[in-house]
Amino acid sequence: MKYVSWIYEKHQYKHHIISKLSPLQIKYFIFIFNKNKSLAEYILINKLYNLFDIHDTINNKYTNKELIKLHMLAEYIPIQKGILLCTRINIDKINKYNVIPLLQFIDNEHNFINKKINIVWGPGNHGDLTKNVTEHFKKHVMSEMENKYWSSLLPDISYESYKNYAIKSFYKMKKVIIHSNGKFVYLSGFYNNVFIVGRYQEKVFGISSCYYVENGKKNGRKNDMCFKINFNKI
């Protein structure tokens, strides 16, 4: 293998990296090398030999675009997790800003489906849980446009009733998706006409907002969809 010999003569450290590859990993390396020599070298220089540690066959073909994306993601998450993301989500939706929360949703997908995530309100864009609920209560429940609907949904028009309604309705939602605007990643869905949306803020998932949508549609989020979650599997 001329490339290995050349590396051995010119760059000992690269040869050392190649020497760690298993026979299956070598096959992956040769496949990538034959497609794009400079990219294969680029990956090795950055010590991403774990990329080749995949329990699959050589038929699992990575495009140059996917390999470059995996290299970028390796700065933020383990490469195996990057591969998992790229197999579930359109790589164009993944960037350095949203990769961590996307991975949080992937890792906790079964916990959401099995209703094991404790649902609470989060601080949202207001930086404080109480203020967030209060502001959304005023913006939606007390608004002229939505008040008539909330009057029939809540036992009484109060902060606590609104707060608890969103929490109790969360796992009853349908049309649930994970979507990202390129910076933040959200989970949202509908309980009848009530739209509920939440996100991770560090390690805690919390509801960000809850409001009534008369036509029961939020088409804009579909353009940002990363993947779907079905709360009704069990």
Pair 143, 222 in one domain: yes
Pair 18, 59 in one domain: yes
Pair 76, 132 in one domain: no
Q: Which residue has the tokens 């190649």?
A: 18
Pair 129, 205 in one domain: yes
- Residues 52-72 have a mean pLDDT of 60
Indicate whether 103 belongs to any domain.
no
Pair 119, 197 in one domain: yes
Q: Which of 92, 122, 154 is the last residue of a domain?
A: 92
Indicate whether 99 belongs to any domain.
no
**Between 52 and 32, whose confidence is greater?**
32
Q: Which of 92, 127, 146 is the last residue of a domain?
A: 92
Pair 46, 117 in one domain: no
> How buried is 179 (Cβ within 10 angstroms: 0-12 exposed, 13-18 middle, 19+ buried)?
buried
Residue 101: per-residue pLDDT? 94
Residue 49: pLDDT band (50, 70, 90) is very low
Query: Average pLDDT, whole number, for the chain?
Result: 82
Pair 215, 118 in one domain: yes
Indicate whether 218 belongs to any domain.
yes
Indicate whether 79 belongs to any domain.
yes
> Rounded to 5, what percent of the chain is helix, strand, coil?
55, 15, 30
For residue 175, give every residue at least 6 positions away whose Cβ sits within 8 Å of its Cβ, in sequence order, or none.
189, 190
For residue 199, give every residue at least 6 positions away whose Cβ sits within 8 Å of its Cβ, in sequence order, or none.
101, 122, 184, 185, 186, 187, 205, 206, 208
What is the residue range of 58's domain? Answer: 2-92
Examine the pLDDT at 122 and tell me if it is beyond 50: yes
User: Would you say 35 and 64 are in contact if contact means Cβ atoms under 8 Å apart?
Assistant: yes
Domain count, the chain: 2
Q: How far apart are the first and last CA of the chain?
A: 53
Examine the pLDDT at 98 and tell me if it is beyond 90: yes
Indicate whether 24 belongs to any domain.
yes
Indicate whether 86 belongs to any domain.
yes
**Between 221 and 143, whose confidence is greater?**
143
Pair 131, 70 in one domain: no
Pair 224, 116 in one domain: yes
Residue 24: per-residue pLDDT? 62
For residue 122, give every residue at least 6 positions away whose Cβ sits within 8 Å of its Cβ, in sequence order, or none.
129, 132, 198, 199, 201, 204, 205, 206, 207, 208
Residue 4: per-residue pLDDT? 54
The residue type of 124 is G
Indicate whether 234 belongs to any domain.
no
Sheet strands (E) in the chain = 120-121, 174-180, 185-191, 194-201, 204-212, 225-228
Q: Which of 39, 62, 92 is the last residue of a domain?
A: 92
> How buried is 203 (Cβ within 10 angstroms: 0-12 exposed, 13-18 middle, 19+ buried)?
exposed
Residue 45: per-residue pLDDT? 54
Pair 75, 128 in one domain: no
Pair 72, 128 in one domain: no
Pair 126, 182 in one domain: yes
Indicate whether 212 belongs to any domain.
yes
